[in-house]
Structure 1
Amino acid sequence: MSTKLLSYSVPYRLHHLSSILPHIRFNLLTSDDTAAMLEHPLVMEDPGSSEVIRNVVRRGASNMKARFGIGAEEMVLFFQARSELSPKEDRWSKRTPLTTRDDPFWIGIAMGTEIFCSNMDFTFVSVYDTEEDRWQQLPVWDRPLEDEDIDYTANFFILENQLYVHLNNDKSGCQHQHVLVYDRCEGVWRELDVTFPYVDWNCPPVVARVYLPAADQETHVSAVCPRPYKDESYLHGFLGTVGNFQKDGVLQDVVIEVEGQRFPCHRLVLSAASPYFRAMFTSDMAESRQKTVVLQVASIEDFCSLCVNQLTEIISHDELNVKEETTVWEAVVRWVQHSREDRLQHLPSILSHIRFNLLTSDDTTAILEHTLVREDPRCSEVIRDVVQKGNTDLRPRHGMFTEMMLMFDFMRCKEIFFMNPREGKYINCSYKPEDLSCITDIVVTSDNNIYILQLKMEAGNQLSLFKYNHAKNAWEQAGVSSVTGEPVYDQAFGATSLIALGGILYFIRVDPVDYEEHRRLQMRKYDPHSNQWQECSQLGLGETIDDIGTFSCGPNLYYLSHTTLHCYDPSMDMWYKRTPPMTITYLEIHAAVAIGTEIFCTDFEFTQTMVYDTESDCWQIRQGWPNPGNFSVEGCQNLFVLENQLHILLTCLRDSHTGNIYQEDYIYLVYVYDRSADAWRELKANLPYKKYHTYYSCSPVARIYLPYLKGT
Structure 2
Amino acid sequence: MAMANNPPIREEAASVLPQEGRYVRLPMDQARFVSMLRVLRDTPSCESLCDVVVKGQEEDSVGIPCHRLVLSAHSTYFLNIFTIGLRECQEKEVRLKEVPSEVLKTLIEFCYSSDIIISDENVHALLVAAHFLDFRPVTNVCWEYMEKNLDPSNCLMTFCCPLTAAHRPRLTENAKTMVLKKFPVISQSSEFLNVNKDQLIELLRMDGLCAENEDEVLGAVIRWRKHDTDQRWPHIREILRYVRPRFLSSSFGQQYLCLNLFDNAPEDGSTANEETLFKLEDIVHLLESSTVGDESQRRPRKRYGCNQIIVCAGGEVVGITPLDGVHYFDPVSSTWTKKKSLPYPVFGAGLVNVDDEHLFVCGGYSSGDIHRNFLRRVHRYDLSLDVWSDVAPMHYDRNGHSTIILNDHIYVIGGVQGGTRTVLQAVERYDPAIDRWHSVADLLVPLYWFAAVAHNGGLYTFGGLTANGSVVSTTFCYDPQKNTWSELASMPTPRFWCTACVGPDGLIYVIGGRSTVQYSELNHILSTVEAYDTSTNQWLRKGSLNKRRCYVGIACANNKMYVLGGYREGVDSMEVYDDHSDRWTVHGSHLPQGMYNFGCTVVRVKPPN
Aligned counterpart, 2:406: 501
Q: How does 1:20-31 map to 2 (within 5 A)?
A: 27=70
Which of 442, 445, 457 is the matching residue for 2:351?
442
Q: Contact (CA 8 Å) 1:527, 1:534: kept in 2 or not? A: no
User: What secondary structure sits across from 1:237 in the alignment?
Assistant: helix
1:161-205 CA distance string (max 9 Å, x none): xxxxxxxxxxxxxxxxxxxxxxxxxxxxxxxxxxxxxxxxxxxxx
Q: Contact (CA 8 Å) 1:522, 1:538: kept in 2 or not? A: yes
CA gap of 1:589–1:570, structure 2 versus 1, over 3 A, is same
Aligned counterpart, 1:134: none
Aligned counterpart, 2:473: 563
Q: What letter corresponds to residue 404 of structure 2 in structure 1?
A: I
Q: What letter corresponds to residue 424 of structure 1 in structure 2?
A: S
User: What secondary structure sits across from 2:349 in the alignment?
Assistant: strand
Pair 1:520-2:425 in alignment: yes
Aligned counterpart, 1:244: 182
Query: More deviation in 261-270 or 632-641?
Result: 261-270
Q: Contact (CA 8 Å) 2:352, 2:361: kept in 1 or not? A: yes
Q: Contact (CA 8 Å) 2:363, 2:378: kept in 1 or not? A: yes
Give the share of equivalent positions with the same residue, in percent. 14
CA gap of 1:643–1:471, structure 2 versus 1, over 3 A, is same
User: What secondary structure sits across from 1:689 in the alignment?
Assistant: coil
In structure 2, how many angstroms separate the alpha carbons of the residues matched to 1:259 and 1:527?
30
Which of 300, 311, 317 is the matching residue for 1:405?
311
Pair 1:425-2:335 in alignment: yes
Q: CA deviation at 1:462?
A: 7.9
Q: How does 1:199-598 map to 2 (within 5 A)?
A: 211=109, 214-215=112-113, 225-226=142-143, 229-230=163-164, 231-232=168-169, 233-234=171-172, 236-237=174-175, 240=178, 244=182, 246-247=184-185, 251=189, 268=223, 275=239, 280=260, 283-284=263-264, 305-307=289-291, 309-310=293-294, 312-319=295-302, 398-408=304-314, 410=316, 413-431=323-341, 433=343, 440-453=349-362, 463-477=376-390, 481-484=392-395, 488-489=396-397, 495-510=400-415, 520-526=425-431, 528=433, 532-541=436-445, 547-561=449-463, 562-581=472-491, 584-585=492-493, 590-595=498-503, 597-598=506-507
In structure 2, how many angstroms separate the alpha carbons of the residues matched to 1:218 and 1:258?
44
Q: What letter corresponds to residue 284 of structure 1 in structure 2?
A: N
Q: Contact (CA 8 Å) 1:590, 1:601: kept in 2 or not? A: yes
Which of 597, 601, 604 is the matching residue for 2:510?
601
Aligned counterpart, 1:206: none
Q: Contact (CA 8 Å) 1:497, 1:507: kept in 2 or not? A: yes
Q: How does 1:67-146 map to 2 (within 5 A)?
A: 69-70=102-103
Aligned counterpart, 2:276: none
Q: Contact (CA 8 Å) 1:483, 1:533: kept in 2 or not? A: yes
In structure 2, how many angstroms separate the alpha carbons of the residues matched to 1:621 and 1:577?
20
CA gap of 1:501–1:602, structure 2 versus 1, over 3 A, is same
In structure 2, how many angstroms separate the alpha carbons of the residues matched to 1:683 and 1:498?
27
CA gap of 1:546–1:563, structure 2 versus 1, over 3 A, is farther
1:495-551 CA distance string (max 9 Å, x none): 4443211222334344669999996242334273x6543432223216xx5641332
Q: CA deviation at 1:573?
A: 2.1
Q: Contact (CA 8 Å) 2:574, 2:590: kept in 1 or not? A: no
In structure 1, how many angstroms separate the alpha carbons of the residues matched to 2:217 and 2:578?
17
User: What secondary structure sits across from 2:175 in the alignment?
Assistant: helix
User: What secondary structure sits across from 1:668 in the alignment?
Assistant: coil
User: What secondary structure sits across from 1:306 in the alignment?
Assistant: coil
Q: CA deviation at 1:468?
A: 2.0
Q: CA deviation at 1:314?
A: 2.6
Q: How does 1:40-59 map to 2 (within 5 A)?
A: 52=84
In structure 1, how many angstroms separate the alpha carbons of the residues matched to 2:595 and 2:116?
50
Aligned counterpart, 2:543: 623
User: What secondary structure sits across from 1:540 in the alignment?
Assistant: coil
When the two structures are superposed, what TM-score results if normalisation uses the length of structure 2? 0.53
CA gap of 1:404–1:249, structure 2 versus 1, over 3 A, is farther
Aligned counterpart, 2:249: none
Q: CA deviation at 1:611?
A: 0.5
Greater percentage in strand: 1
Q: Contact (CA 8 Å) 1:600, 1:609: kept in 2 or not? A: yes
Aligned counterpart, 1:703: 604
In structure 1, how many angstroms separate the alpha carbons of the residues matched to 2:414 and 2:68?
45
Pair 1:678-2:579 in alignment: no
User: What secondary structure sits across from 2:314 in the alignment?
Assistant: strand
In structure 2, how many angstroms separate the alpha carbons of the residues matched to 1:306 and 1:706?
25
User: What secondary structure sits across from 1:619 in the alignment?
Assistant: strand
User: What secondary structure sits across from 1:314 in the alignment?
Assistant: helix
Q: Contact (CA 8 Å) 2:401, 2:450: kept in 1 or not? A: no
Q: CA deviation at 1:425?
A: 1.4
1:229-287 CA distance string (max 9 Å, x none): 35442475277358537349975999x9999999986965576896459994685269x
When the two structures are superposed, what TM-score results if normalisation uses the length of structure 1? 0.46
Question: Alignment length, in residue pairs?
Answer: 408
In structure 2, how many angstroms separate the alpha carbons of the residues matched to 1:495 and 1:667?
20
**RMSD across aligned positions (CA):** 5.5
In structure 2, how many angstroms separate the alpha carbons of the residues matched to 1:682 and 1:263?
38
User: What secondary structure sits across from 1:520 in the alignment?
Assistant: coil
Q: CA deviation at 1:219?
A: 7.3
Unaligned runs of 5+ in 1: 6-22, 57-65, 74-208, 287-295, 320-396, 655-665
In structure 2, how many angstroms separate the alpha carbons of the residues matched to 1:648 and 1:264?
33
In structure 1, how many angstroms separate the alpha carbons of the residues matched to 2:119 and 2:212?
44
